[in-house]
Amino acid sequence: MEAQETAEMIGHQGGDKSKNRTALTISVFAMVLAMASLGGSNAMKEATHQNILAANTYSFYQAKAIRQTSLKIAATDLEIQLLSAVAMPASTKEVIQKKIDDYKKTSDRYESEPETKEGKKELLVRAKEHEKNRDHAMRQDPWFDYAEGMLQIAIVLLSVSILGSIPALFVVGTLLGFLGTLSTLNGFFLLF
């Protein structure tokens, strides 16, 4: 079909303005539906990603806590050995004391490492931030689901209103499409 023939067909069909208006409305709602679908998909991916990051960060925190506890136990054991061995040579006592100091220093470093941001304190803050991001994405997702449902129904009703020339279906479809559009916007911006 050539462009001239297409233009003639549009010209012959152009007499029914309500069908053209309905077709345009369907096109707009189909575009919003695509954006809602993309937003919902991205929200779920983000929620999953942030949940994995939070779980990994908590695991790293737990590993640090276990290592810290092991170092504290080792330091305490060495302190007990140091106190109980009265006849121990001074050089051996120095080596043991140095090891105790190293264990305590490392244990303290595990508590907070601002330079690497891998101390327990910093890991806990990071994990909480990932949880916050996950929860934000989880609040977004249902709005996109509602939007998709309303927009799909709106498109069907508007299509039927063209075929059946039923103005009430146009009104209901447009109303649902408008609500779906609001739901899409709320999915992106969480206005309410």
pTM reported for the whole predicted model: 0.82
**What is the predicted pLDDT for the residue at 89?**
93
Residue 3: the pLDDT is 45
CA distance 121 to 70: 18
**DSSP single-letter state for residue 189:** H
User: Who's near 116: CB < 8 A, 6+ residues apart?
Assistant: none
pLDDT at residue 1, as a whole number: 43
Q: What is the pLDDT along the chain (192 residues), one digit of tens a residue?
A: 454 554 455 555 554 888 999 999 999 999 999 999 999 999 999 999 999 999 999 999 999 999 999 999 999 999 999 999 888 999 999 999 999 999 999 999 999 999 999 999 999 999 999 999 999 999 999 999 999 999 999 999 999 999 998 999 999 999 999 999 999 999 999 999
Q: What DSSP letter does each residue of 129-171 carry, written as one string? A: HHHHHHHHHHHHHHHHHHHHHHHHHHHHHHHHHHHHT-HHHHH
